[in-house]
Amino acid sequence: MGRNSKTLLRKFHQARWDEEIIFELSVPGERGILVPRAEDGIRAEVGDGISVIPNNLKREKPAGLPEINQMRVLRHFMRLSQETLGADIAPDIGEGTCTMKYSPKVQEHLAARHPGMVEIHPLQDENTIQGILEIYYKLEQFLKEISGLTYFSLQPSSGSQAIYANASIVRAYHASRGDNKRDEIITTMFSHPVDAAAPATAGYKVITLMPGENGYPDLGAMKDALSERTAGIFITNPEDTGIYNSTIDEYVKAAHDVGALCSYDQANANGLLGIARAKEAGFDLCHFNIHKTFSAPHGCMGPAMGAIGVTKELGEYLPVPRVKFDGKKYYLDYKRPKSIGRVRCFFGNTPLALKAYAWIMQHGADGLKEAAEISVLNNNYMEKKIREIPGVVVKYAEGKRRLEQVRYSWEKLMEDVGVGTDDVERRMVDYGLPHYFQSHHPHVVPEPFTLEPCESYSKDDIDEFVAVMRQISKEAHEDPELVRNAPHNAPIHNIPMPVIFDPEEMATTWRKYKRMKGIK
Amino acid sequence: MSEKKIVYPYIPNSVSTVKAQMMKEVGISDIMELYDEIPEHLRFKEKMNLPEPILDEYSIRKHVEGLLNRNKNCSEYLNFLGAGCAQHYVPAVCDEINGRGEFLTAYSGFFWGDHGKWQAWFEYQSLMGELLDMDHLSVPQYDGAQAAASSLRMASRINGRKEVLLPKTMNPEILLVVRNYLKGAAGSEIASTMIGFDPKTGLLDLDDLRSKISDATAAVFIENPSYLGMIESQAEEIGKIARENGAEFVVYTDPIALGMIAPPAHYGATIACGDLHPLGIHMQCGGGQGGFVATHDDMEHASQFKDFVVSLTDTVVEGEYGLGLVLPMNLSYLAREEAKEYTGTSTGLWAITAAVYLSLMGPKGMEEIAQTIMQKAQYAAKKIAQLDGVELRFSSPFFKEFVVNFDKSGKSVKKINKALLKHRIFGGKDISREFPEFGQSALYCVTEIMTKEDIDRLVGALAKVAK
């Protein structure tokens, strides 16, 4: 018996292994793996090798690691993997702002198994890594075309680090002009919070503009915030609500008028490929999340890649090295005196460049545009159905279309039956769906949830997702305790205190937990 | 809709009948109606200038394989490059686990549907805690450089001071990351002052340290083993000087050394940091890096972490393990610009991989591997030093890397490394530009994967090319 063909609901139960913490599996003397030992010929020359360690730097007691045979280690982590709802086994339509695309296996197999990728040292002679340098160089050309900006660097290893790198470039640009008054960055409440946090880490004061009725700040509010102290604006468009600011170029112009730079957080670029670009809106900098828009997997929170793009004028500030091509050979250019230096060792997360390169090569210009259009179509189709579910409301921009995602609200469900977004989120797992993304903080939209049915999901996937949400709303009205006490079919049950503030309750390592509980 | 249309395997609703049905539901007749909010002048009206697509899977595989086949790899060549990315053996179980689709394609799911991920992260923190003999870690950072940079900012937040002391022998790539990360806008910089070294031993110049440390010093930072490979035998004394002056003692270490070499906490480090890449992660041209930061569990330190910190907790069912999140208000997801520093997607998959590695190795495996590495590195150094025109630059004991000087051969490292390529050997990293004071020197790295035969092959090749 498969999924109920009328309700589209499935009788799901996730793996529940009741698995021990790894240390509890330890059996003194067991080995998980044997390691190479020095040959006799080496020992004869150098002895034990460790007597050269100064006495006060010798490890006196072996590390308190567990001792476990190999099969049990494997089984342990296999079980933990089964207790994880990755996008490969559960449609991850719910993680709005994250663009949980299908990460093609052919890319993964190439990146994770080909010795020409796996067994490469980043400091090898340029002549021996021409294939990788070519991928870097060509991906940069593709991203230039997709954004309209002039130069790219693939060194930053996440969207957040990309924004930090861009904030560093903004800082270096103003400093190089002797303009040291600029100590403010402006962002918006519905831009990703790292558009505030990364510039703050770079030393800036941050001004956050609140949304007006149309979902984004009024142009007047932006103009009021801008001054000769503004170093730059860091802004997402469409913002995390899916609402596109149709006058974005006027905000950019206003910022330019006071001498500020404009950095475009393109974490939400998926609906825009081939449709609208950073260049036409006038931005000076942008970044793409390679693990979102360009299909590389998210890997349990990384490794990731944030490709940063800049205008011609800002090219000299990009991190070192830059990958260049002299017509015959790809090479690395380190001679860049105005560069911000580095944000990451070596070249960043190289395998992700391979994956993005392959994905773009598989789709071409038409395919990329198709991905964008279908992602927006999927979203509009799903929005229509989600809006019909009792308890759901959508704030801002009444009557206007969202692009690739929508921030919804269970405000009405909370008012009507006292079931909120946390409860619904836990209940989803009981139907085989990974969690959804609520919203960053503060929750300006009350009881929020943000959905992004990108182009990877079929109509049927979306219909099933909607059916689950409808079912949970129904349950909330008929039997709210069922939802509040969820999950029921997950690896574990509800956690009374998932967020821990009390130092006495912080068991951040097993050794500390044992001390807290008095376990020997 | 009438034109011949490609159905993309990764875009299910590119099937024209399905697309038409959905457009009808949405109430549009032209797909571009969905983009009404984007005004004409902001639209890109041309077709993107991208290569013609390679549509079928076989052909894209051939195409990408063709590019990768152009690289020379460290299975076919003997590799003596390290400098922050060393070639260690990766147990098959590590690859098996991090290749699991459930882990590979999970993201930010919470404690229920992704319970396994959170447990693996907790185990990562716990296993690293044992290796480092410390109690408090977060999920990892981007790389060791970021871990070093964040550790220094943590130190500055802890004591409110605005200067850090760094060793002149520091890894130059990490230094570039740190320098940028300590900068502020409009004069809010944390200054970095470099401490010299003894030209003979390569170890920190304690007189220079004593003369430069002050009540403005937020942290004294050392690498142990150092970038140049040496074991910093004065580490305990350096820590004492740091703490006597009210500074944090931040030690960047190599986790694969810690089965034999004392972890930083044993010689007074208040913050330990480093890179995870030796722990079961392939080099991937530098794509296998991940950073760790660890402290003791006093709140002065433990409250300064900027990333997810996982805690074991209870569920409503007695005896059932659940996982939770510590001090989330420190994270920029919640605190925006008020956060300690920015956070984001980092290297969660490598945390799981490192946990698998340490679980396989156990205490015995970590001891043995550290010993094997030291024996093989010492053997290589000894044999290389016996060659004419070649000598070791420093006299100090080292872990897996050592500096080889070629001045007496009259040849540049560049030339020697080019010649070694013909012997299918990647010679040590040329550091003659980073450290001109060492002359024509290269940083050689030897790990457990090198056999006596491999090392002898290197020595034989060097004897020829350095003549």
Among B116, B137, B115, residue whose Cα is nearest residue B127: B137
Q: Are B322 and B111 in contact (CB under 8 A)?
A: yes
- Interchain proximity A244–B324, CB inside 8 Å: no
Angstrom distance (rounded) from CA B121 to CA B307: 12
Backbone φ and ψ of B375, nearest 5°: -65, -45
> Which positions of chain A have pLDDT values less than 50?
none
Angstrom distance (rounded) from CA A457 to CA B42: 28
Q: Which residues numbered 474-493 in A keep a CB inside 8 Å of some CB on B? A: 485, 487, 490-493
**pLDDT for B304-328, tens place per residue?**
999 999 999 999 999 999 999 999 9
What pLDDT does residue A4 have? 94
Backbone φ and ψ of A449, nearest 5°: -150, 145
Structure tokens belonging to residue B54: 């390679």
Q: Which chain A residue is nearest to residue B106, measuring alpha carbons?
A: A86
Distances (CA, A) of A351 to A342, B102, B281, B371: 19, 19, 13, 32
Angstrom distance (rounded) from CA A271 to CA A375: 6
Close Cβ partners of A98 (under 8 Å, ≥ 6 residues apart): A92, A292, A298, A437, A452, B107, B108
CATH of domain A110-360: 3.40.640.10
- Interchain proximity A118–B282, CB inside 8 Å: yes
A210: contact with B, CB 8 A cutoff? no
What pLDDT does residue A380 have? 98
Kindly report whether the peptide bond that precedes residue A442 is cis, defined as omega within 30 degrees of 0.
yes
Which band of pLDDT confidence, cut at 50, 70 and 90, is reported for residue B467?
A: confident
Angstrom distance (rounded) from CA A193 to CA A141: 29
Domain boundaries, chain A: 110-360
The CB density around residue B184, as the number of other CB atoms within 10 Å, is 15
Structure tokens belonging to residue A233: 């604006």
Q: Are A222 and A254 in contact (CB under 8 A)?
A: yes
Q: What share of chain A is helix, strand, coil (3-state, %, to 5)?
A: 40, 10, 50
Q: What is the mean pLDDT of residues B352-360?
A: 98
- Interchain proximity B186–A48, CB inside 8 Å: no
Q: Of A65, A360, A503, which is closest to B366 when you measure between CB atoms?
A: A65
Angstrom distance (rounded) from CA A424 to CA A436: 9
Q: Of B10, B107, B120, which is closest to A298 when you measure between CB atoms?
A: B107
Q: Of A42, A74, A119, which is closest to B379 when you measure between CB atoms?
A: A42
CA–CA min distance A316, chain B (Å): 15
SS3 assignment for A466-493: HHHHHHHHHHHHHCHHHHHCCCCCCCCC
- Interchain proximity B113–A369, CB inside 8 Å: no
Q: Of A49, A146, A301, which is closest to B48 when you measure between CB atoms?
A: A146
A298: contact with B, CB 8 A cutoff? yes
Distances (CA, A) of B248 to B1, B157, B211, B271: 67, 11, 17, 7
Q: Are B295 and B134 in contact (CB under 8 A)?
A: yes
Structure tokens belonging to residue A487: 């999950």
A74: contact with B, CB 8 A cutoff? yes
Contacts of B61 in chain A (CB under 8 A): 106, 110
Q: Which chain B residue is nearest to residue A439, measuring alpha carbons?
A: B333
Edge-to-edge, what's the strand order for the sheet holding B429-430?
B391-392, B401-405, B441-445, B429-430
Question: Between β-strands A184-188 and B429-430, what pairing exists: parallel, antiparallel or unpaired?
Answer: unpaired
DSSP A434-456: ---B---SS-SSSSEEEE---TT
- Interchain proximity B64–A358, CB inside 8 Å: yes
Where do the domains of chain B lie, and which CATH numbers do they carry? 1-46 (no CATH), 78-88+368-465 (3.90.1150.10), 92-358 (3.40.640.10)
A519: contact with B, CB 8 A cutoff? no
Angstrom distance (rounded) from CA A340 to CA A319: 6
Alpha helices of B133-218 — where are they, by DSSP H? 144-159, 172-182, 206-212
- Residues in a beta bridge with A332: A323
Question: Could you say which DSSP state residue B293 is in?
Answer: E
- Interchain proximity A60–B184, CB inside 8 Å: no
Angstrom distance (rounded) from CA B193 to CA B437: 19
Angstrom distance (rounded) from CA B460 to CA B467: 11
**pLDDT for B113-124, tens place per residue?**
999 999 999 999
Angstrom distance (rounded) from CA B174 to CA B176: 5
- Interchain proximity A304–B346, CB inside 8 Å: yes
A27: contact with B, CB 8 A cutoff? no
Structure tokens belonging to residue B187: 């004069």
**pLDDT for A378-430, tens place per residue?**
999 999 999 999 999 999 999 999 999 999 999 999 999 999 999 999 999 99
What pLDDT does residue B2 have? 45
CA–CA min distance B438, chain A (Å): 20
CA–CA min distance B160, chain A (Å): 15
Helix (H), strand (E) at residue A333: strand A330-333
What pLDDT does residue B3 have? 55
Which band of pLDDT confidence, cut at 50, 70 and 90, is reported for residue B185?
A: confident
Angstrom distance (rounded) from CA B102 to CA B104: 6
Question: Could you say which DSSP state residue A324 is in?
Answer: E
Q: Residue written as tokens 């142990």? A: B224
Residue B422 has pLDDT above 80, yes or no: yes
The count of CB pairs under 8 A between chains A and B is: 765
- Interchain proximity B311–A505, CB inside 8 Å: yes
A275: contact with B, CB 8 A cutoff? yes
CA–CA min distance A175, chain B (Å): 9
Q: Are A122 and A346 in contact (CB under 8 A)?
A: yes
Q: How many residues does chain B have?
A: 467
Amino acid at B185: A
**pLDDT for B14-49, tens place per residue?**
999 999 999 999 999 999 999 999 999 999 999 999
CA–CA min distance B190, chain A (Å): 10
Which band of pLDDT confidence, cut at 50, 70 and 90, is reported for residue B1?
A: very low
Interface test mutation site (partner B, options A67, A77, A101, A139, max chain B beta carbons within 10 A): A77
**pLDDT for A339-385, tens place per residue?**
999 999 999 999 999 999 999 999 999 999 999 999 999 999 999 99
Contacts of B122 in chain A (CB under 8 A): 21, 508, 510
Q: Which chain B residue is nearest to residue A136, measuring alpha carbons?
A: B67
CA angle (A354, A158, A173) in 5-degree steps: 105
Q: Are B352 and B124 in contact (CB under 8 A)?
A: yes
Contacts of B143 in chain A (CB under 8 A): 157, 344-345
- Interchain proximity A364–B51, CB inside 8 Å: yes
Distances (CA, A) of A201 to B153, B247, B429: 10, 22, 33
Contacts of B323 in chain A (CB under 8 A): 495, 498
- Interchain proximity A36–B372, CB inside 8 Å: yes
Among A117, A109, A353, residue whose Cα is nearest residue B283: A117
CA angle (A270, A274, A279) in 5-degree steps: 95
Classify burial at B359, counting beta carbons within 10 Å of its beta carbon; exposed 0-12, middle 13-18, buried 19 or more: buried
